[in-house]
Structure 1
Amino acid sequence: MSHAVTLRSLCRAPEIGANSYHLSFGDTNIVIDAGMHPKQDGDEAVPQFHLLDANSVDAIFVSHAHLDHIGTLPVLQREQPHARVYMTPEVVDLADALLHNSVNVMTSQGDELGIDAYPLFTHGDLDELSQVWQGQHYRKTFEPFWDQDLQVTFRDAGHVLGSAGILFEAEGKRVFYTGDVQFNDQTLIKGADFEDLGPLDALIVETTRGNAPSSPDFDREAEVARLIEDMTETLHRNGSVLIPVFAMGKTQEVLTMIQNAKEAGDLPDVPVTIGGLSTKMTTIYDRYATNANRKRPDFRILRDMELRAGTRRRGKSVPIRYQEQAIYALSSGMMSEHTVSNKFARNFLPNPANSVHFVGYSDPSTPSYHVRQASTGDLISLDESKDPVQLNCQVEEYQFSGHSTREQLLDFIVASGAKKIFLVHGDLSASQWFERELAERMPDAEVTIPEPGVDYTL
């Protein structure tokens, strides 16, 4: 006898940030992801875990290690102490490093901004709670409970190292959660492995790029070539290059682009410096270099590239020294206040020989967005506590998204043949684009943008 299967969004709104979803398969209760909202502070950054009964969750499944999917996992674990926790082995390592760093960031913000709730958890909490995390490999179906009818399979989502789409099979239903997905190969990470999923009863799918129509002329390799050419031009005029990058994902992709170009003779063999959390993340990427989802399984970034890394002495970071004809790949990608890229930019942006190259998303509230929107000679506020700086250097932007285009995702959804489709992880207007398109292409499917706190039957 089959029981009801339901989905409830624990997000605070239909948007990106604080991602978390509750699935019930009869008496089995699971939660997918436990993110932190990047634009909120304190308790407002946490999903609506209060919608869950105490000690009601049997298992937690994590799609990947970005903070908007894993940033409040320790909070959820504290509230659901009996829940088992599953992710890929790569995410086990990445999450441990990222969440420990998050404790440091929250502690600083708590002190500087007076946020009483910070940190949401401590290093000690994390050390204890991470002991129950279990790594499961791609395409290896496992049963989390010996006495409950639930089978789970992780599939490579191609987004960042260890990212997974998750297939749940129970109560006669097959439910697939995409997480964040990239179908195309990137420079280092291969595209998603979502082939042969079989018939689906329900699909929970991200809609990140629903507001971004893709150009039919876009070619990723040509975009890489443009980045290398622009950097080479800067180096030949005795300037230096700044690439603000996210510590996990973009850093390793950009470093691989640089190494490929150096090996091909397309980029001068100049010093490359990384800083912030990037070194620790790159160490973990190298640890899993032989994984099948790597385009260069023989390539280990820290071993094969002569990188310079930002250092710490007596617990404090040492400012990175500027030199001509050098490349700096520094986090954070949005040049947020107090990060390495933000501090370095203060003396870098005024030099007209230099160039800054943006390879990822910039939120409108961040310094990186202000730099991208500015004109030569404009004054830029990098840190509200300090004087603005004049932008004299060259600014360039490139498209290297870790998310699939909306057209690719739409084709995947249609091909899945899912009877019920839930559109998540996107601004409301982005999800609504998918809703309109699917009304035409899949008129018999039930398409929903789930309202937080509402139960939907699958």
Structure 2
Amino acid sequence: MKLTDLNPHGGIGANCLLVELGPFRFLIDAGIHPKKVGRETLPDFDKLAPNSIDALILTHCHLDHLGAVPVALRHQPEAMIILSRPTQELAVRMLRNSCNVMRRQRDEQRIPEYPLYSFAELDRLEPIMFALPYGHSRTFAKGGEEVQVTLYPSGHIVGAAAIKLTYKHRSIFFTGDVLFGDQKTLPGAAFPDETFDTLVMETTRGLTRRTDDTRREEEVARLIQTVSRTLENGGSVLIPAFALGRMQEILAILDEARTKGDIPKVPVVCSGLGLDLVDYFDVIARKIGAVKFRRNVLKRLGVQALKRAPAPGKPPSKPTLFVVSSGMLVENTPSYAIAASLLGSPHNALCFVGYCDPDTPGGKLLQTPQDESFVFETLDHVTPVRATIERFDLSGHADREELLSFARKCEPRAIVLTHGDPEARSWFHEQLEQDEAAYQIIDPAPGTCYTV
């Protein structure tokens, strides 16, 4: 196998691997980089000759894996998209939202390259999608040779899939983004119990060690305690949440807590794409059964759509529970505006339930001590940090120890480290080097072709 990482920046973002097996050429994902702008967000598609890709295999619908699919296939007219059935339901909706966001960025930030694709291009994607049920295989034939593609559920978010390629009696396994443990809305990964010749593995949490007191169940209980205490004392709570996956899980957690009487009955306010995706989750639950979430959660919680965020420095007149995007308090999002209204009062709480890049407003807020000033630049608002700020480890990614154990169990000849910051990959590299097994360990440099 030849493998090339087309993410020009390395680390996490613009995820896209070119995989060459004999006459076959596949792309594994085609994402955009969340911290770049314009064409800098894209993988290096210049390395692909026109009409050279047999298929793009999509692991899941987060934009760092999905967001550049229309661009990738622009010059690959004969390629198909292989994806799971839930991902097929979600993919075009996520891309339409991305297109709308880019249109707004073009106008507000004067980025002439946006949008990177049109709605007409999105309409052409659905006919070339081939939904492969988990555990079923698709065989490609070319030049007298065959390769087999099989998907397996990888937890993380609804529809997320690991990929196994079988070629000439050798198997290559791509974990994609993986979570082994169950979520409220989704069972954990179900990988085949077998060995592989090559393992291509995510490394997101390579620098994060989960201790016994930070198990998911304890983190959920701690979240509910903070929410309950804040609301009962007359404050409001903001839970910034990613629209796909995390918002629905938080709603399921709150619904269970409300049913048990663990949190008081107050207005629950949600926003935008995450609220819209509830309908898609409901359809997936009914048609496919791959997710444990139904729309009636909204009715039980009495969820209201956010019409207008409170003004900076002016919290709601009565206790309110906000579950809105973005999860990192990115500028010009509902969570950013609501944070500006709540942050200055000690009665309120902000509860982070996912990863926050240190360079985002959410990441910066987590590093700001109590009573120091925090600047909401795009709102021209400065406030002291007086609200309770807490972080809860509800990651959608597997712990590093779990991934390390899985890698050793697979007994591969080669391990390729992907989807992680340099320091996270280094931790895995150092641990694997200490094993007696003679792995070939590859941390691919961007744009370099490796023979594995």
Q: TM-score range by the shorter chain?
A: over 0.9
Structure 1 position 430 matched with structure 2 position 424: yes
Offset from partner CA, 1:74-112 (integer Å, 9 cap, x none): 000102121111111211222212111111111222223
Report 1:132-147 matches (<5 A): 132-145=128-141
* TM-score, normalised by the number of residues in structure 1: 0.93
Which residue of 1 is the match for residue 28 of structure 2?
Answer: 32
Q: 1:214 to 1:12 in 2, by over 3 A?
A: same
Contact 2:340-2:381 at 8 Å conserved across structures? no
Q: 1:292 to 1:90 in 2, by over 3 A?
A: closer
Structure 1 position 347 matched with structure 2 position 341: yes
Contact 1:349-1:393 at 8 Å conserved across structures? yes
Structure 1 position 202 matched with structure 2 position 194: no
Structure 1 position 41 matched with structure 2 position 10: no
Which residue of 2 is the match for residue 441 of structure 1?
Answer: 435
- Which of 160, 164, 167 is the equivalent residue of 1:167? 164
CA distance in structure 1 between the aligned counterparts of 2:258 and 2:386, rounded to whole angstroms: 28
Aligned CA-pair RMSD: 1.9
CA distance in structure 1 between the aligned counterparts of 2:60 and 2:160, rounded to whole angstroms: 4
CA distance in structure 2 between the aligned counterparts of 1:331 and 1:299, rounded to whole angstroms: 19
Structure 1 position 369 matched with structure 2 position 369: no
Identity of aligned residues (%): 36
Structure 1 position 101 matched with structure 2 position 102: no
Which amino acid in structure 2 is aligned with residue 180 of structure 1?
Answer: D
Q: How far does residue 383 in structure 1 lie from its aligned partner after superposition?
A: 3.0
Q: How far does residue 293 in structure 1 lie from its aligned partner after superposition?
A: 4.7
Which residue of 2 is the match for residue 157 of structure 1?
Answer: 154
Which amino acid in structure 2 is aligned with residue 379 of structure 1?
Answer: S
Offset from partner CA, 1:248-301 (integer Å, 9 cap, x none): 11101111110111112211122211112111122212222255554x467753
Offset from partner CA, 1:327-364 (integer Å, 9 cap, x none): 11010001111111112222222232211111111111
CA distance in structure 1 between the aligned counterparts of 2:145 and 2:75, rounded to whole angstroms: 22
CA distance in structure 1 between the aligned counterparts of 2:381 and 2:299, rounded to whole angstroms: 40
- Which of 374, 381, 387 is the equivalent residue of 1:380? 374
Bigger mean CA deviation after superposition, 57-66 or 271-280:
271-280
- Any idea what SS the aligned residue of 2:60 has? coil
Q: How far does residue 304 in structure 1 lie from its aligned partner after superposition?
A: 4.5
Contact 2:84-2:159 at 8 Å conserved across structures? yes
* TM-score, normalised by the number of residues in structure 2: 0.94
- Any idea what SS the aligned residue of 1:185 has? coil
Which amino acid in structure 1 is aligned with residue 188 of structure 2?
Answer: G
The alignment covers a number of residue pairs equal to 446
- Which of 80, 86, 89 is the equivalent residue of 1:84? 80
Contact 1:204-1:422 at 8 Å conserved across structures? yes
Which residue of 1 is the match for residue 182 of structure 2?
Answer: 185
CA distance in structure 2 between the aligned counterparts of 1:258 and 1:429, rounded to whole angstroms: 35
Contact 1:25-1:171 at 8 Å conserved across structures? no
CA distance in structure 2 between the aligned counterparts of 1:161 and 1:401, rounded to whole angstroms: 14
- Which of 105, 111, 119 is the equivalent residue of 2:107? 111
Contact 2:86-2:290 at 8 Å conserved across structures? no
Q: 1:90 to 1:442 in 2, by over 3 A?
A: farther
CA distance in structure 2 between the aligned counterparts of 1:255 and 1:242, rounded to whole angstroms: 13
Q: 1:345 to 1:270 in 2, by over 3 A?
A: same
Q: How far does residue 237 in structure 1 lie from its aligned partner after superposition?
A: 0.9
Q: 1:37 to 1:79 in 2, by over 3 A?
A: same
Give the gaps of 5 or more residues in structure 1: 312-317
Give the gaps of 5 or more residues in structure 2: none
Which amino acid in structure 1 is aligned with residue 159 of structure 2?
Answer: G
Which amino acid in structure 2 is aligned with residue 415 of structure 1?
Answer: K
Contact 1:240-1:323 at 8 Å conserved across structures? no
Contact 2:252-2:293 at 8 Å conserved across structures? no
Contact 1:87-1:133 at 8 Å conserved across structures? yes
Which residue of 1 is the match for residue 323 of structure 2?
Answer: 329
Q: How far does residue 323 in structure 1 lie from its aligned partner after superposition?
A: 4.4
Structure 1 position 19 matched with structure 2 position 29: no
Which residue of 2 is the match for residue 411 of structure 1?
Answer: 405
- Any idea what SS the aligned residue of 1:90 has? helix
Contact 1:354-1:393 at 8 Å conserved across structures? yes
Q: How far does residue 397 in structure 1 lie from its aligned partner after superposition?
A: 1.1
Which amino acid in structure 2 is aligned with residue 121 of structure 1?
Answer: Y
Which residue of 2 is the match for residue 314 of structure 1?
Answer: none
Contact 1:235-1:325 at 8 Å conserved across structures? yes
Report 1:279-318 matches (<5 A): 279-290=275-286, 291=288, 293-294=290-291, 296=292, 300-302=296-298, 304-311=300-307, 318=308
Structure 1 position 230 matched with structure 2 position 226: yes
CA distance in structure 2 between the aligned counterparts of 1:40 and 1:166, rounded to whole angstroms: 28
Contact 1:289-1:299 at 8 Å conserved across structures? no
CA distance in structure 2 between the aligned counterparts of 1:8 and 1:375, rounded to whole angstroms: 43
CA distance in structure 2 between the aligned counterparts of 1:72 and 1:14, rounded to whole angstroms: 16
Which residue of 1 is the match for residue 447 of structure 2?
Answer: 453
Offset from partner CA, 1:411-458 (integer Å, 9 cap, x none): 000000111110000011111111111111253111110122222223
Contact 2:284-2:290 at 8 Å conserved across structures? no
Which amino acid in structure 1 is aligned with residue 365 of structure 2?
Answer: V
CA distance in structure 2 between the aligned counterparts of 1:410 and 1:292, rounded to whole angstroms: 30
CA distance in structure 2 between the aligned counterparts of 1:96 and 1:381, rounded to whole angstroms: 36
- Any idea what SS the aligned residue of 1:143 has? strand
- Any idea what SS the aligned residue of 1:444 has? coil
CA distance in structure 1 between the aligned counterparts of 2:330 and 2:26, rounded to whole angstroms: 34
Which residue of 2 is the match for residue 214 of structure 1?
Answer: 210
- Any idea what SS the aligned residue of 2:213 has? coil
CA distance in structure 1 between the aligned counterparts of 2:300 and 2:233, rounded to whole angstroms: 27
Q: How far does residue 160 in structure 1 lie from its aligned partner after superposition?
A: 0.3
Q: How far does residue 325 in structure 1 lie from its aligned partner after superposition?
A: 2.2
Which amino acid in structure 2 is aligned with residue 170 of structure 1?
Answer: Y
Bigger mean CA deviation after superposition, 273-282 or 143-152:
143-152
